[in-house]
Structure 1
């Protein structure tokens, strides 16, 4: 499960780099905060998977909860009119903007939220198994 969490973090990290560095999408401030909570997980979970250090799930869970909360807020700014009316200023790029809008609901913050949720679920599963004395 550590390997799956690491793969999720790696895909999310590479995806965000693809959007900004290849497609040229300039990240807004909230996107940067989401990156701050995702990118370290790629390293933490890789080391944890190699060393079979299941305690690292605590750290990935904490990072994912904070990052997921930011993603949920960002997604709300994009999709809920009430939040759009009171949106904070996000620097050069508005946080309410949509670089992608696949199927009418999949945006970049939605993708980040999905990755944070997957990592949170995997981390919780690892921690539950650790409590039961099993290897994850």
Structure 2
């Protein structure tokens, strides 16, 4: 039973890492290949996603299922920023209080989409939230009695 729990936890940890890694590659592609300059909120989200890719890769390699202690807070802060950005993008939060400068790219502009209209802030929110859920399942999986 313990081996099965460990195997399941490792696959969940791998899935969390893949999400962080692919999200990091995706924003690099959008910025560097497609030439879309990230707004202020995008930069903050990147600041929380990029380290997740590294931390979760090391945790997978070492089978460190206690990684949730530091990865969940990191993903949680990223999710809060992505939620703020999403609410700003959809118009719930007024543009006058957005952190983006008048000279830089807009946090709520039409160029905040990819693949025919998917909002980048919403995709970031989904990625951060999924990572949190997977890591909490890893945590719960490790606490189950054998």
TM-score, reference length from structure 1: 0.89
Query: 1:64-110 CA deviation, whole Å, 9 max, x = no partner?
Result: 11100100100110102x41343324131111113216565x21111
Matches within 5 A, 1:47-62: 47-62=58-73
1:109 aligns with 2:121: yes
| Separation (CA, whole Å) in 2 of partners of 1:133 and 1:32 | 42
Unaligned runs of 5+ in 1: none
Unaligned runs of 5+ in 2: 1-11
- Aligned pair count reads 132
Residue of structure 2 equivalent to 1:123: 135
- Following TM superposition, the consecutive aligned residue runs of length 4 or more in structure 1 with deviations greater than 6 angstroms are none
1:11 aligns with 2:10: no
1:57, 1:127 within 8 Å by CA — same for their partners in 2?
Answer: yes
TM-score, reference length from structure 2: 0.84
1:58, 1:123 within 8 Å by CA — same for their partners in 2?
Answer: no
Higher mean C-alpha deviation, range 31-40 or range 83-92:
83-92
- What SS does the corresponding residue of 2:97 show, helix, strand or coil? coil
Higher mean C-alpha deviation, range 94-103 or range 51-60:
94-103
